[in-house]
Amino acid sequence: MTQPWAVRPETAADRAAVRRVVTEAFPTPAEADLVDALRADPAWLPGLSWVATGPGGEIAGHALLTRCRIAEPGGRAGDAVALAPVAVRPARQRTGAGTAVVGAALDAARRAGETLAVVLGDPAYYPRFGFVPASRFGVRAPFEVPADALMALPLRDGPVPAGTIRYPAPFGV
């Protein structure tokens, strides 16, 4: 059942709880390790790591946007933000926490003047936020992906960068 979720940017005090949520949501600790590595990377964008909290203030969901670049080979590179990972505690999934925390993180990116968000994920989930196939903008992944799994969302009016995504180093791609 969908319920209202409070959302806010993460604070330094949330790090352990975020790690627990991300660890629980995925089969291996790889995504939790990725979040911790991104926190120590220049790609980390203060204010764009968001949490959804339950009635007692406990963290149930997390969404992270970090800096990536998009460039044509030999051409100009433009800034974008990569949405990854998104995690909701299994016991709280399908109650609206993911929708609330992803929406809030994207709104914060809009307020910060970001141009474009990209996500590699389930094409059944992300269109609710306005994501469309990234190919519409000439945006490609640096590896083979199913065409509809790479999605992009312009965050303001005007041109968006085209080309291949360069993910932050901790993604290891």
Ligand X SMILES: CC(C)(COP(=O)(O)OP(=O)(O)OC[C@H]1O[C@@H](n2cnc3c(N)ncnc32)[C@H](O)[C@@H]1OP(=O)(O)O)[C@@H](O)C(=O)NCCC(=O)NCCS
Q: Is 4 in the site for ligand X (CB under 6 A)?
A: no
User: Any bridge partners for residue 64, and if so which?
Assistant: 49
Residue ranges of alpha helices (H) inside the chain are 15-25, 30-39, 97-111
Nearest to 130 by CA among 117, 146, 141: 117
Structure tokens at 75: 């051409």
Least distance to ligand X, CB of residue 34, Å: 10
Full DSSP string of 93-113: TTSSHHHHHHHHHHHHHHHTT
Least distance to ligand X, CB of residue 63, Å: 8
Q: Is 173 in the site for ligand X (CB under 6 A)?
A: no
Site for ligand X in 111-170 (CB under 6 A): 121-122, 124-125
Residue whose CB is nearest to ligand X in the complex, by number: 98
Site for ligand X in 40-99 (CB under 6 A): 61, 84-88, 93-99
Q: Name the residues that contact ligand X, by CB under 6 A.
A: 25-26, 61, 84-88, 93-99, 121-122, 124-125
